[in-house]
Amino acid sequence: MLTPIAYGLAIVLVALVTFIGLRFLVVPRPAAAGYGVPAKQDGDSAYLTIKGLRDFTFGILGAALLAFSSPQAAGLYMLVVAIAPLGDTLIVLRHGGTKAVAFGIHFATAVAVLISAALLFAV
């Protein structure tokens, strides 16, 4: 019973991070606004592309691990990847974003990823 829940949550999280990465690659400025720190019109768009590529890569790697490795390897991946939304929480707070976005989106994502890691380790 735990296995479908563990893999289901992991698949949803991997799909979401892949989507977020693609969004930053395709429509970077609206994606940045949704992230919690809007991009400046005259800012360097390379950083938005870097964010998109990072998230897209995390998503593809997560999908590969879920499909081709053990639950423990996928759990370790989730544990490590939780650093990104925890860091995003701090970035949003330090750069003028709202606490609601920092904690309601980024910190909550980190908690969901850590729960996913725990479930995968328990399988």
**Tens-digit pLDDT string for the chain (123 aa):** 899 999 999 999 999 999 999 999 999 999 999 999 988 888 778 889 999 999 999 999 999 999 999 999 999 999 999 999 999 999 999 999 999 999 999 999 999 999 999 999 999
**The pair of three-digit structure tokens given for residue 77, joined into one six-digit string:** 């991946």
Map out the domains of the chain as residue ranges. 2-122
pTM assigned to the model:
0.92
